[in-house]
Structure 1
Amino acid sequence: MEGLFYLFAFNVIISGIMVISALNPVHSVLWLIVAFTSAAALFILLEVDFIALIFLIVYVGAIAILFLFVIMMLNLTDLGGGGDMSNYLPAGFIIGVVFLFEVLIFQSRMATFNLSYINYPHNWDFIEKAPNIEVLGRVLYTNYYYLFIMASFILLVAMIGAIVLTHSTREEIKRQDIFIQTSRQLWW
């Protein structure tokens, strides 16, 4: 079981690297789907089935397919990809080193962190008495409701951005006039 966990974890890391290193945007989205599926398999191995299924439905079923449709709609494959990407390596390396140091600092602080001295501001007694989905809903929708509101605004801005990018104002496009179509006037 531990070997399977390391296999999927390695697959997530390799897929993530392939997402940012693939020159074709369609291949990049396909690697993203592989990364999401491997992460869902990790959640299943950790016995968090609900989160794994939500991960598959939301990320693979909606977001990754949306990326794929946007890439096809905007026709990003004709941008002449395959250029030299080596000039991005120093910036990527610096960002990776910063993230690695942040993880190491967090890990060192968590090793010295003692949970016995913490007084929680919330009552967590319901965790032992309720099913997993109910506990997840209570915690997410009471303690972290502001994150859901922020996420909804971010998705709204993304939706408006996609509409603005695809909206065309050219004159040669035939447009419908709803008033003329629905009016009962005779034009003879």
Structure 2
Amino acid sequence: MEGLFYLFALSIVISGVMVISALNPVHSVLWLVVAFIGAAGLFILLEVDFLALILLIVYVGAIAILFLFVIMMLNLTGLEGTDRSNYLPTGFIIGVVFLSEVLILQTRISMGVDPNWNFMEAPNIEVLGRVLYTNYCYLFILASFILLVAMMGAIVLTHDTKIRVKRQDIFLQTSRKII
């Protein structure tokens, strides 16, 4: 059981690295699918079968396929020769920050320093709702506004006003003489 955990965790880490390092965007999406499958395997090991199946259906079945279609429609063929090494310092800094946060949280939980992290009193969804809607309510509202603006921007960018739309003239259609 422990060996399967390490196998799935290693596959997630390797496929996550391959997502950001693959030069072909289609290969990146395929590595993303492998990462989702590994995460679903971890959920099955944790006996959260419903969440694993939902992850597979929603992310692999819908979002990854949507990414794949969008990438194929964009026809991104000129990205193979671009130099992406200038992004490495930023990615390294973000990775170090995330790793340090995980280690700090792990040491706090193992030492029992933080009394606010009592997860055994309520179900996971209730704890998540309490934290999200009380401690992080302003950030939650800000994220929703950012998503709304992004959606409106995508609609504005794809709206083409130069296409002439044929309009129906009901009077002209009904006044024709039948011969």
The alignment's TM-score, normalised by the length of structure 1, stands at 0.71
Give 2:107's aligned residue.
108
Corresponding position: 1:11 with 2:8: no
For residue 71 of structure 1, what is the aligned residue in structure 2?
71
In structure 1, distance between residues paired with 2:21 and 2:58: 24
Alignment deviations for residues 61-99 of structure 1 (CA, whole Å, 9 cap, x no partner): 121112112212222x22333322222222211221122
Indicate yes or no: 2:173 matched with 1:181: no
| Secondary structure, aligned partner of 1:185 | helix
* Distance in 2 separating the partners of 1:119 and 1:34: 32
Q: Which residue of 2 aligns with 1:38?
A: 38
Identity of aligned residues (%): 66
How does 1:45-84 map onto structure 2 within 5 Å? 45-75=45-75, 77-84=76-83
2:2 counterpart residue number: 2
The one-character-per-residue Cα deviations of 1:98-152 (angstroms, maximum 9, x if unpaired) are: 221111111111111268x6697xx957x6xxxxxxx85x666787577998877
Query: Which stretches in structure 1 are left out of the alignment for 5+ residues?
Result: 128-134
- The separation in 1 between residues aligned to 2:127 and 2:159, in whole angstroms, is 40
Q: Distance in 2 between matches of 1:80 and 1:10?
A: 28
Determine helix, strand or coil for the equivalent of 2:172.
coil
TM-score with structure 2 length normalisation? 0.74
Output the CA distance in 2 between the equivalents of 1:182 and 1:59: 45
Shift of 1:14: 0.3
Q: Is the 8 A contact 1:74 1:166 kept in 2?
A: no
Aligned partner of residue 9 in structure 2, secondary structure: helix
**Which whole-Å CA distance do the structure 2 matches of 1:74 and 1:83 have between them?**
17
Distance 1:18 1:157 in 2: 31
Matched residue, 1:166: 158
The number of aligned residues is: 170
Unaligned runs of 5+ in 2: none
The Cα RMSD (Å) is: 3.2
What is residue 131 of structure 1 aligned with on the other side? none
